[in-house]
Structures are given as C-alpha cells and as structure tokens.
Structure 1
Amino acid sequence: MSIMSYNGGTVLAMAGNECVCIATDLRLGEQMTTIATDVKKVHKLSEKVYVGLPGFNSDAKTVLDKIQFRKSLYELRENRKLKPQVAATIISNLLYQRRFGGYFTEPIVAGLDPATNKPYICGMDTIGCIASPRDFVVTGTGQEYALGVCESKLSDVGCPLYS
C-alpha cells in the first residue's frame, strides 16, 4: 500500500469563466479506519488563492506551514499580492528541494489573478512537477473516480468550461 493512501483524501479544482472551484472530502483515516470527519484540506493563501493538500496528514501540515512562511516573505519583499501562478511556483520549488526525502502530499492550487480575474488551476506530484489543465485537476486517493465523473460531465456539456 502506498503512503499516499495511508491517510487518503481527494482534492478537485475546476475553472470557469472568471471563477474557480476547489473541493475536498473531510475524512481523515488510517487505511480503512476513520479517525476524524472534519479535517480541513483546502487552505486560503490570499484573497483569491487556495491550496488543497491531500495525502499524508502530518506532511500536509508541514508543507502548509512552509508555504505560508514563504508567501509572507514574498509579499514583504515584492510589496504585492500573491498570484496563483506564483503560489504554484513557490510550492513546486518547496517540494523539489526535498525530492530525495519528499513530502507525501500532492498539492492543487486554484485561484484568480488579482488584476484580470483570469482563472488558474494546477496540480502537482510529490516532487513539484506542475500540470496546468484548462478545465479541471484532481489529486489524491479518489483521483480515478473523480476524473471519470469530471470527464463525463464535460462530455455532457459538449464545450469547454470557459471560453
């Protein structure tokens, strides 16, 4: 069994016309045993930027603390608000620095550009490789199921989520 499925969790982000949506489950488990049903996996980084952290719970908390620290440093140095693309790069660099003894979490970043309201979503693997699809991204233990549901809903609509 993979360490990624030890605590589990699934995060889904979708982009629309000047909007994004990020959703997750609230379950914390130890393999097949449920420990809690109120665990927060989506966190607000700034006014319009959110990060979802599924995977091993203690690693997700450590990564969140490091992200918030680096976000504060960025805003102090640059004297501007965090953009979702910048947040994704910060997280990717953080994960890549620990690639040989990495964190067991696969982050998703979802947000709107503060100036243009252009949506941005991306998912990463455990070493920070960014994938930026146009419509939706899923990570976590329920990825296979959520991908099927999202793809079937897009084919029902017959067009991209935003133009």
Structure 2
Amino acid sequence: MVKQHGWYPYEFQSGTTVAIAGDDYVVVASDTRLTENYSILSRTHSNVYKMHNNSLLLSTGFLGDVLTLKKTLEGRIKSYEYTHNKPISTPALAQMISIMMYGRRFFPYYTNTAVAGLDSEGKGCIFGFDPVGSMTPERYTCEGSAMPLLLPILDSYMLGKNSTKPGPVKRTKEEIVKMVKDIYMAGCERHVELGDGVVIHVLTKDKGIETDVHALRKD
C-alpha cells in the first residue's frame, strides 16, 4: 500500500490589523491575541511594527514569515539610508517591500501585509500587498483573521457603501480612533480569534506616533 507524505511549512496565527489614512494623519490598529488551532499563545502580541519615524508595518499570518520579513526589511532600510544618506520615505518603503515579495514569489511569505505612514507632504498613505508583491495604494485597509467581519463596516463608514447615504465621508482623527475601537469591540463578539486588546497608533507629522491600548474581551 502506497502512503503519501505531504509537507506544509506554514501555520496561520491569528491577528487582525486596520489602517486608515487621513489628510495629515494615519491611524493603525492591531488586536493583541495570538492563536494557533484555537489555542491562545499570547494575549499581548501586536501585529504592527515601527519601521522608522514615519512608517508602520502591518503584517499577520504565519508569525515565522512575519518576523523574517520584518528582520530582512530592517536590514535593507539601513542599507538604503546608508547609500542615499536620507531616511526612507513610506512610498519608497512600499516599493522595497513589493520587490522583496516578488523575489520570493515561488516560495512566498505567508503574510497579509500593508505599510502605513506619511508621504513627503505629511499626508497619510497606505499600501497593501498580495503574497507576490503586487502593490495597491489604499485609503484604508483591513487584513487578518477577522477581516470578513470588519471590512464591510469600514466600507460603510468610510465610503457609505450599503448605506442610505452613499459616498465618501470625511472624518476627523478623533472620530476615526473611536470608530476603530468600536469595530474591534464588535468584532470580538463574533470572532473567537479576536480579543484581549487593541493597540491603536496615531501617526502625525507634528507629534510622531501616539499609542493607546484599549481592552477587549478575554474569553
């Protein structure tokens, strides 16, 4: 009798990230629950990583690939800044990530990745990536295990989709932060891999990165 053996090097650890860009700010959030096969590995793990003063990396999925991507990116950022004698901009960082992912297209990083930050004019910008590096500028993004629950809420709140008042809506920074807290609180009621806490980063040109932690359900 022939027995076939397979090899699957990936494991999906949970995590849900949200990023929203404004005229002069970007709001980035991540829950803090890290799970594997319905076992909680950590209640304090954030999926947002600071790359430099004006950019934040959001990455969920297989934690080994997330950390490898982050470590490789940190080395390339140092090389870029040494070569060009200037800090890397968020659009340039996004292009760097795209090239890195394309270089791994035959054995891709098993991640849901985006980068958020400020452009050269101080405006918020977000770039999303597919596993092989295709890059898309976004006004907002949601990635990770609870994305199917949270993204329709963002579509309605930001663009008026599935609403009696269709069309983009301009929101203040304070309204965006409150909305992010609300959607995470709503999401953890329906998704077992979302919970414990949400870390919210607000990035502005004047104040840099401000961080707030909001408690969520722990069961």
State TM-score, norm by structure 1: 0.89
Contact 1:41–1:54, Cα closer than 8 Å, also in 2: yes
In structure 2, list runs of 5 or more residues that go unmatched.
Answer: 1-8, 172-219
Tell me, in whole angstroms, the C-alpha distance in 1 between the residues paired with 2:15 and 2:74.
21
Tell me, in whole angstroms, the C-alpha distance in 2 between the residues paired with 1:81 and 1:67.
14
Query: Which residue of the partner structure matches residue 131 of structure 2?
Result: 126
The aligned length equals 159
Q: Secondary structure at the match of 1:54?
A: strand
CA deviation profile, 1:15-53 (whole Å, cap 9, x unmatched): 112110111111111121111111121111111111111
Following TM superposition, by how much is the alpha carbon of 1:55 offset from its aligned partner in structure 2, in angstroms? 0.7
CA deviation profile, 1:50-99 (whole Å, cap 9, x unmatched): 11111101110010000100011110001111111111111111111111
State whether structure 2 residue 59 is matched by structure 1 residue 53. Answer: yes
Distance 1:4 1:141, change over 3 A: farther
AA partner of residue 137 (structure 1): T
- What is the percent sequence identity of the aligned residues? 28
Query: Which residue of the partner structure matches residue 36 of structure 2?
Result: 30
Contact 1:5–1:141, Cα closer than 8 Å, also in 2: no
**Residue among 135, 153, 156 paired with 1:152:** 156
Q: Secondary structure at the match of 1:17?
A: coil
Distance 1:109 1:161, change over 3 A: farther
Tell me, in whole angstroms, the C-alpha distance in 2 between the residues paired with 1:93 and 1:16.
26
Tell me, in whole angstroms, the C-alpha distance in 2 between the residues paired with 1:71 and 1:58.
20
Contact 1:4–1:141, Cα closer than 8 Å, also in 2: no
Distance 1:4 1:110, change over 3 A: farther
**Residue among 134, 139, 148 paired with 2:143:** 139
**Residue among 102, 112, 135 paired with 1:106:** 112
Query: Which residue of the partner structure matches residue 12 of structure 1?
Result: 18
**Residue among 93, 97, 100 paired with 1:94:** 100
Q: Secondary structure at the match of 2:112?
A: coil
Across the aligned residues of Structure 1 and Structure 2, the Cα RMSD in angstroms comes to 2.0
Contact 2:157–2:169, Cα closer than 8 Å, also in 1: no
State TM-score, norm by structure 2: 0.67
AA partner of residue 124 (structure 1): F
Following TM superposition, by how much is the alpha carbon of 1:150 offset from its aligned partner in structure 2, in angstroms? 0.5
Tell me, in whole angstroms, the C-alpha distance in 1 between the residues paired with 2:45 and 2:82.
30
CA deviation profile, 1:106-142 (whole Å, cap 9, x unmatched): 21100002x4102210111111111212x21111121
Q: Secondary structure at the match of 2:109?
A: coil
Q: Secondary structure at the match of 2:46?
A: coil
Of Structure 1 and Structure 2, the greater helix share is in 1
Larger radius of gyration: 2
Q: Secondary structure at the match of 2:60?
A: coil
Distance 1:81 1:151, change over 3 A: same
Tell me, in whole angstroms, the C-alpha distance in 2 between the residues paired with 1:4 and 1:119.
33
